[in-house]
Structure 1
Amino acid sequence: MSDALLPTAAKPASSFFPASRLAVSLLFLMNGFMVGAWAPKIPDFAERLLLSKSELGLMILLLGAGSLTLMPVAGALMARFGSARVAKGMAILLLPSLLLLTYAGKVWFAAVAIFWFGGFMGAMDVAMNTNAVAVEKSMGRAIMSSCHAFWSLGGLLGSSTGGLLISWFGVSVHAVVATAAAILMLVVAWPLVLPDAPHPAEKSERKRGLPLQPLPWILGVMALFSMVPEGAVLDWGAFYVRHELGADLVLSGFAFAAFSGTMAIMRFGGDLVRDRFGAVKTLRLSTLMALSGMLISGLAPNPEVAILGFAICGLGIANMVPIAFSAAGNIPGMAPGVGLSVATFMGYSGLLAAPSIIGFVAEHVGFAPVFLFLPVLLLVVLMLSGLARHADSIRH
């Protein structure tokens, strides 16, 4: 997109952290905070509704179904209204989710509430990623990795404060306080969100529905194969080092902490790396690092080596998804929201569905072979890494 197609507010900014970047960072922070605040509510949610483990699993599956259902809807809406308006609208609809989940007294209402939560969380995710692409274009520099770092920070804040509030004051007070905090983030961000102009390809894309050209789908595969290993480590890393490598309870917790910690740190610095070396080189180095870390964990003789492998893997995976999303939002001749809706849909479907498939496979062969297979997916990303050049179009 040339500068002529951008609104006045979107002309290249000289500031390192302009208002538009603060706004989109706050949107990521709010979304992650809502997700993090939900995590400590799950035990009460299950107990209040008398859900078995399998029934709770179905409820959580509904959350993922909501996300995957409304993500494409967000893409279609952005083709008409732009990412700023859709991100704000989806954020408003997301706000009452924690209250609905807290006060749901019937299973059917809880099912609707959790579908609502997942749906508008996912729809907002697509819109805020698209707005981050618009901010990248306006600044002429990468910001996507740091935006995802703010999402991780929001999740950490939401989960850590949520546990304390629930233990001190109960689930109702927690829901009100968490919702108020999310409202505050949105109020601060609201007037600063970058308004993005309609894209020339939007009308034709909207008429065709799903994009016909293969590039967004290939970038979606890159996002998918980057997020499957992420989901595997986050959901099964601790289980692997405890039950197959003999770690105690405390040490096994470091599997998750090492991976998520290095990933968050690298995401805050990832944009500087990408601006320095370009998206293609950054993606290739990141993929090789993730691949190496996963192999180290799969071949580890003890928990300590496996945890080291997960830490290295986190450093690598940190920038892979943000680069894939930036590339999907910068496909020549395609509306950013259309490409991003495909990439986010495919990527998050892997994050949501892969852990259950991995658990089923590992029950028969163990987790070590699974972690040794995952680098095959990363090799595919490495082979496709040249397509990351589209992420560098923010400078043109």
Structure 2
Amino acid sequence: MSDSSTAVLTRAAYMTRPRFAVSMLFLMNGFMTGSWAPKIPELKERLGIGESVLGLLILTFGIGSLVMMPVAGAAIARLGSKPVVKLTAILLSPLLLLLTLVPNVWLGAIAMFVFGGFIGAMDVAMNANAVEVEKSMRRAIMSSCHAYWSLGGLIGAAIGGALMARYGVLTHAIVLTVIALALIALAWPMIFSDAPHPDVKAEKTRLPLNPLPWLIGLVALFCMVPEGSVLDWGALYLRNEQGASVALSGLGYAAFSASMATMRFAGDHVRDRFGAVRTLRLSTITAFVGLILSGLAPDASLAILGFAIAGIGISNMVPIAFSAAGNMPGLAPGIGISVASFMGYSGMLFAPSLIGFVAEHTGLSVVFLSVPVLFIVVLALSHLARHADAGKV
């Protein structure tokens, strides 16, 4: 074996460590997000609040994320992703324990803002780190990273209820904090170092005037609104308009998330083989077909099948958008990703309320037939996904 071949194999073996580390960071962030869901009813009961106040608290979580994402992007541009992802992960890990201990709604609102803020800040930092690992490996890893996030969310949500029922909410919060810290400890010595960046100019840390990252952000937005639609309204659609049982109505999002997580593990291989542009286009068409099938379905089983097909399509759309945002020419990765994250997650935050207003007057079947129209814009802008492959050449 030649020296050059040995060097390539050695480098590939070494780079599996940063890839493992960033995967653990995605797993930890998803686990914290998923662990929050089972705590919502307990928080409502403990603070003695109604649905409207609870809704405002959840909105505070989203506002915290949107506020902190650009801050994280600017910090990454100046310091690199490694110190930012370490700091945000450490600060995030005890926050669900804090939420378990807050005695009133005002402190609860502050805790929710901070929790959402560090979820969002870490999200930007870990995506920026994944972009740097992609560049170093010269291959796609972003889809599998997002698969680990989905897996973490499923684990957090699945074990939360059982732990709280058996051992109580405080023990649950302590256990998940220990798990989060253990995942950070696993990743800590292997996190890819991309700092400092002495070549990053000060003007690169400001919000960009160039329309390119905002167009990528629009792609992220129009990919995440349909995802949020299935999450927030899929079960209600199956229950009220398809006549599904309570048990069956929950399978809509389960099928969607399972197919999405599975396809995300395979998505990097697909993107490496066909390129980001072709993968995004094929994924968009698949998601379009799935949601249209759900909207036109005569019964719940076909609607669930449509959600599963939509999950296959949507699975790799957001990772490709984030990779493209992190590879914008002349722009620090953290800034591009913070723009894409801000726009994408704002859609997840505000679109459900708009959908609820529309659905009240038209029905949810019309919603699931209308939302895929957004994919036409994604297809029109799909050529911008070529930037996602920039780090591999």
Regarding TM over 0.5, the answer is yes
Q: Structure 1, residues 291-324: CA drift from partner, whole Å, max 9, x if none?
A: 0111111111111111111110000000000000
1:195 is aligned to 2:156: no
Amino acid at match of 1:77: A
- Tell me by how many angstroms 1:79 deviates: 1.3
Q: 1:221 aligns to what? A: 218
State how many pairs are aligned.
384
Separation in 1, partners of 2:101, 2:356: 32
Q: 1:273 aligns to what? A: 270
Partner-residue secondary structure (3-state), 2:298:
coil
1:253 is aligned to 2:247: no
**Percentage identity across aligned positions?**
62
Q: Structure 1, residues 345-388: CA drift from partner, whole Å, max 9, x if none?
A: 00011111111111111011111111111111011101110110
Separation in 1, partners of 2:15, 2:307: 32
Q: 2:279 aligns to what? A: 282
Separation in 2, partners of 1:14, 1:33: 28
1:311 is aligned to 2:308: yes
Separation in 1, partners of 2:375, 2:166: 44
Task: State whether residues 200 and 335 of structure 1, in contact with CA within 8 Å, keep that contact through their aligned partners in structure 2.
Answer: no
After the TM superposition, which parts of structure 1 deviate over 6 Å for at least 4 consecutive aligned residues?
A: none
Task: State whether residues 78 and 200 of structure 2, in contact with CA within 8 Å, keep that contact through their aligned partners in structure 1.
Answer: no
Q: Structure 1, residues 96-136: CA drift from partner, whole Å, max 9, x if none?
A: 11111000001111111111100000000000000000000
Q: 2:137 aligns to what? A: 139
- Tell me by how many angstroms 1:202 deviates: 3.9
Partner-residue secondary structure (3-state), 1:255:
helix
1:274-353 to 2 correspondences below 5 Å = 274-353=271-350
Task: State whether residues 204 and 330 of structure 2, in contact with CA within 8 Å, keep that contact through their aligned partners in structure 1.
Answer: no
Structure 2 counterpart of 1:244, from 241, 244, 247: 241
Q: 2:3 aligns to what? A: none
Separation in 2, partners of 1:186, 1:254: 32
TM-score w.r.t. the length of structure 2 is: 0.96
Separation in 2, partners of 1:119, 1:278: 33
Q: 1:6 aligns to what? A: none
Amino acid at match of 1:23: A
Q: Structure 1, residues 207-236: CA drift from partner, whole Å, max 9, x if none?
A: xx2101000000000000000000000110
Partner-residue secondary structure (3-state), 2:11:
coil
Q: CA RMSD in A?
A: 1.3
Q: 1:109 aligns to what? A: 107
1:369 is aligned to 2:366: yes
Q: 1:392 aligns to what? A: 389
Task: State whether residues 260 and 311 of structure 2, in contact with CA within 8 Å, keep that contact through their aligned partners in structure 1.
Answer: yes
Separation in 1, partners of 2:11, 2:39: 41
Structure 1 counterpart of 2:177, from 169, 179, 192: 179
Structure 2 counterpart of 1:149, from 147, 150, 163: 147
Separation in 1, partners of 2:10, 2:95: 36
Q: 2:18 aligns to what? A: 20
Q: Which moved more, 1:351-360 or 1:116-125?
A: 351-360
Q: 1:90 aligns to what? A: 88
Structure 1 stretches of 5 or more lacking a match? 1-10
Amino acid at match of 1:392: D
Separation in 2, partners of 1:38, 1:295: 31
Amino acid at match of 1:41: K
Separation in 2, partners of 1:270, 1:199: 33
Task: State whether residues 148 and 322 of structure 1, in contact with CA within 8 Å, keep that contact through their aligned partners in structure 2.
Answer: yes
Task: State whether residues 288 and 310 of structure 2, in contact with CA within 8 Å, keep that contact through their aligned partners in structure 1.
Answer: yes
- 1:326–1:204 distance in 2 versus 1, CA, 3 Å: same
- Tell me by how many angstroms 1:201 deviates: 3.8
Separation in 2, partners of 1:368, 1:40: 28
Q: 1:205 aligns to what? A: 204
Task: State whether residues 61 and 113 of structure 2, in contact with CA within 8 Å, keep that contact through their aligned partners in structure 1.
Answer: yes
Q: 1:5 aligns to what? A: none
Q: Which moved more, 1:172-181 or 1:193-202?
A: 193-202
Task: State whether residues 202 and 334 of structure 1, in contact with CA within 8 Å, keep that contact through their aligned partners in structure 2.
Answer: no
Amino acid at match of 1:43: P
Separation in 2, partners of 1:167, 1:193: 36
Task: State whether residues 328 and 340 of structure 1, in contact with CA within 8 Å, keep that contact through their aligned partners in structure 2.
Answer: yes
Q: 2:5 aligns to what? A: none
Partner-residue secondary structure (3-state), 1:338:
helix
- Tell me by how many angstroms 1:13 deviates: 3.4
Partner-residue secondary structure (3-state), 2:233:
helix
- Tell me by how many angstroms 1:191 deviates: 1.1
Structure 2 stretches of 5 or more lacking a match? 1-8
- Tell me by how many angstroms 1:17 deviates: 6.5
- Tell me by how many angstroms 1:16 deviates: 9.0
Partner-residue secondary structure (3-state), 1:212:
coil
1:121 is aligned to 2:119: yes
- Tell me by how many angstroms 1:12 deviates: 9.4
- Tell me by how many angstroms 1:249 deviates: 1.1
Amino acid at match of 2:68: L
